Structure 1
Amino acid sequence: MSDIHIRIEGRAGRITLTREKALNALSYDMCLAIDAALRDWATDDSVALVILDAAGDKAFCAGGDIAELYETGTKGDFAYGRNFWRDEYRMNARIFEYPKPVVSFLQGFTMGGGVGIGCHGTHRIVCESSRISMPECGIGLVPDVGGSLLLALAPGRLGEYLGTTGHRMGAADAILAGFADHFIPQAQWPGLIADLQRTGDLNLLAQMAETPPEGQLEAMRAEIDACFAGETLADILTVLTARDDAFARSTLKTLSRHAPLSLACTVEMVHRLRATNTTMRRALDLEYRFTHRAMEQGDLLEGVRALIIDKDKSPKWQYAEAPVPAVAVSQMLMPLGPDALTFEEEE
């Protein structure tokens, strides 16, 4: 497949995203190819570890390829998107639960669907150019591909902040928030990957890790924790509105551009997952409840139209003029019954 290069080199199973001109955006076919390779290698004794990387300097993976989702959804065909998300989420779970080490090299943009591939392995490497984010609320989705689990496990109220604002994390911020493990300058990656292939020695990663350049989130922690401690989106907005400082004004401006229903559901999802003995599968199940309904009942098609297709940047969001009703959040996140996300051994 021209969009992805899958092979075994030395002791490593290698998966390289090669859609450089599309910022390595993840297509449905790429998801299926990754999943198939992981299945094959799980029981292949010649494969000691898996290495995930991508061509180019601009992006590891800037997200899912949503052109086909939009085209089918606007015709009233919601099955394509639902199947895509179902199979993508199963692949995300496979990476998270994989029986062998998975090492990912995350240069440039790692956003949305890229987080689902790159941030659930055992060893996640970032560099000077890394910019990791979950920007889904900006197009009428919620942080998915297992990202809601990472947000729920992030320190303090970083999960609510990162999930609703789509803040782009550099290397230090990504490590602080639990989206990455080691900072290694990108110039050292080719030699490191060659050594990993040859030796299979994961100790090389910690040995080569350096202290990353200072991030932004640590200095913002007190403000984030104070402003994002509310039970609902309305609580958070009330606190931000009552404050008259640069952080509150900047944050409110960002949130005002995003879909209110998505924001409210994101806060609720993070809280639900944080309150339980959460698992990746529980997180994916909750995400799928939203994405299964996102085109038919949510704002996804309007968000994609306004930001990506027409590019007028003037989406007509639901609940733009009034608080999001609690019942609307419940309806997006209620169980799907026979349509619920399942995993192989459950079927």
Structure 2
Amino acid sequence: MEQPVLVTQRGGVGHLLLNRPKAINALNDEMVAIMADALRAWRDDEAIKAVVLSGAGERGLCAGGDIVSIHRDATALLEAGVGDVEAAACPSAVFWREEYQLNSEIAKYSKPYVALMDGIVMGGGVGVSAHANTRIVTDRTRLAMPETGIGFVPDVGGTHLLAHIVDNFGIYLGLTSASINGADAIALGLADHYVLGADLEAFVAAIADTSLDEALATYAQTPPESELYAQRDWLREAFAADTVAEIIARCEAVGNEAATKAAAAMAGKSPTTLSVTLRALREPLDTLDETLHREYRVSLRCIRNHDMAEGIRAQVIDKDRNPTWEPATLDAVNTSDVDGFFAPLADGLELVITNP
């Protein structure tokens, strides 16, 4: 079988190619380990001047993590009625610990780390790209943090990224799971440069043959105007509300097509994880590592919560698109329920970010 990440070098450039195209390069534990090992080796290798991350196939960089495996763990934990200790020992929790560690190392990487955010970039795909110091989007980019649609909360440092976007755009993206294009990503500060998808191969070759700066000078273009950013006035006001219910009401009151669509999107998602997501985005922490530490707590509580198993079932397993959330309404989610997702874990269970 082919390696799920192809690790190559050319002209002083290390290349990581996520290589599960049939799964849109969804991440698993083996892929995370291969990436971490390569990045650590190249960090200390004077012959490597830059690293490039890309995805195999035509569909995208990475569609996220392996949510079928997460569903298996979530179902088993829910049926067993276990607590944090058992949840922390499950394969998904072990994967998250390694994945979040990798997200942290990418954000601190000392050499140019060039993430080609081409095609679909979602969930875990955002984690291995949007923390990079050089983020490339294209005319084919479709970026999203779709976790609330499956009874989950944005992770991989997603709440850190979203919470720091101006005009409440991050709250809009986190609550609605809306996808954005490359121009939108640059306008919102989630990407740095715009390169046509047709030019990516030549762009990567130019990094090896010349330098990153020269390659950008040759191939980076001014992006089109962001249609999403042009809607900032109503978005800023509607998503400034204190509760998800009020945000939905404000969107419905705006009355335009985009606002009505946003309201409908939120109304169909897990009331619990919408409420937890809003809390995380309203209370940002200072650093990515602090955020990852908190996100691990939230993820551990999500995987043994009814809505995560049910959300993945409805969207991915049975594909009936008709989840039954518990509780079913926003009014039934109380403050103590939300508080529980953020509560400290028992000794020895908390995520510890290291600096290898």
Tell me whether the two structures share a fold, i.e. TM-score over 0.5: yes
Matches of residues 47-86 of structure 1 in structure 2 within 5 Å? 47-76=48-77, 78=87, 79-86=90-97
Residue 314 of structure 1, CA deviation = 1.2
| Whole-angstrom CA distance in 2 between matches of 1:307 and 1:251 | 19
| Whole-angstrom CA distance in 1 between matches of 2:63 and 2:236 | 28
The equivalent residue for 2:83 is none
The equivalent residue for 2:354 is 344
The equivalent residue for 1:297 is 305
Residue 322 of structure 1, CA deviation = 4.2
Matches of residues 195-344 of structure 1 in structure 2 within 5 Å? 195-273=206-284, 276=285, 278-297=286-305, 299-323=307-331, 324-338=333-347, 339-344=349-354
Q: Which moved more, 1:312-321 or 1:148-157?
A: 312-321
Matches of residues 89-104 of structure 1 in structure 2 within 5 Å? 89-104=100-115
The equivalent residue for 1:178 is 189
Amino acid at match of 1:333: F
Matches of residues 38-187 of structure 1 in structure 2 within 5 Å? 38-76=39-77, 78=87, 79-187=90-198
| Whole-angstrom CA distance in 2 between matches of 1:215 and 1:239 | 23
* 1:151-203 Cα shifts (integer Å, max 9, x gaps): 01111100100111111111110111221111111121111111212334334
Q: Which moved more, 1:98-107 or 1:229-238?
A: 229-238
1:345–1:59 CA distance, 2 compared to 1 (3 A): closer
| Whole-angstrom CA distance in 1 between matches of 2:327 and 2:192 | 38
Give me the identity figure in percent. Answer: 36
The equivalent residue for 2:80 is none
| SS in structure 1 of the partner of residue 114 of structure 2 | strand
Aligned residues: 343
* 1:281-316 Cα shifts (integer Å, max 9, x gaps): 011112111101112135211111111001111111
| Whole-angstrom CA distance in 2 between matches of 1:20 and 1:165 | 27
| Whole-angstrom CA distance in 2 between matches of 1:287 and 1:36 | 24
| SS in structure 2 of the partner of residue 336 of structure 1 | coil
| Whole-angstrom CA distance in 2 between matches of 1:96 and 1:87 | 15
| SS in structure 2 of the partner of residue 14 of structure 1 | strand
Residue 75 of structure 1, CA deviation = 2.4
| Whole-angstrom CA distance in 2 between matches of 1:320 and 1:241 | 20
Check the 8 A contact 2:310/2:325 in 1, yes or no: yes
> What are structure 1's unaligned runs of at least 5 residues?
none
* 1:101-155 Cα shifts (integer Å, max 9, x gaps): 1001111100001000111111111111110010010001111111111101111
Amino acid at match of 1:222: D
1:180–1:325 CA distance, 2 compared to 1 (3 A): same
| Whole-angstrom CA distance in 1 between matches of 2:345 and 2:306 | 15
1:203–1:335 CA distance, 2 compared to 1 (3 A): farther
The equivalent residue for 1:14 is 15
| Whole-angstrom CA distance in 2 between matches of 1:42 and 1:298 | 42
| Whole-angstrom CA distance in 2 between matches of 1:148 and 1:321 | 23
Amino acid at match of 1:59: G
Check the 8 A contact 2:271/2:329 in 1, yes or no: no
| SS in structure 1 of the partner of residue 6 of structure 2 | strand
Check the 8 A contact 1:182/1:206 in 2, yes or no: no
| Whole-angstrom CA distance in 1 between matches of 2:46 and 2:175 | 42
| SS in structure 2 of the partner of residue 8 of structure 1 | strand
| Whole-angstrom CA distance in 1 between matches of 2:268 and 2:161 | 23
| Whole-angstrom CA distance in 1 between matches of 2:49 and 2:256 | 52
| Whole-angstrom CA distance in 1 between matches of 2:355 and 2:132 | 21
Q: Which moved more, 1:72-81 or 1:247-256?
A: 72-81
1:154–1:203 CA distance, 2 compared to 1 (3 A): farther
1:175–1:310 CA distance, 2 compared to 1 (3 A): same
Check the 8 A contact 2:188/2:229 in 1, yes or no: no
> What are structure 2's unaligned runs of at least 5 residues?
78-85
Check the 8 A contact 1:294/1:300 in 2, yes or no: yes
Check the 8 A contact 2:244/2:330 in 1, yes or no: no
Amino acid at match of 1:190: E
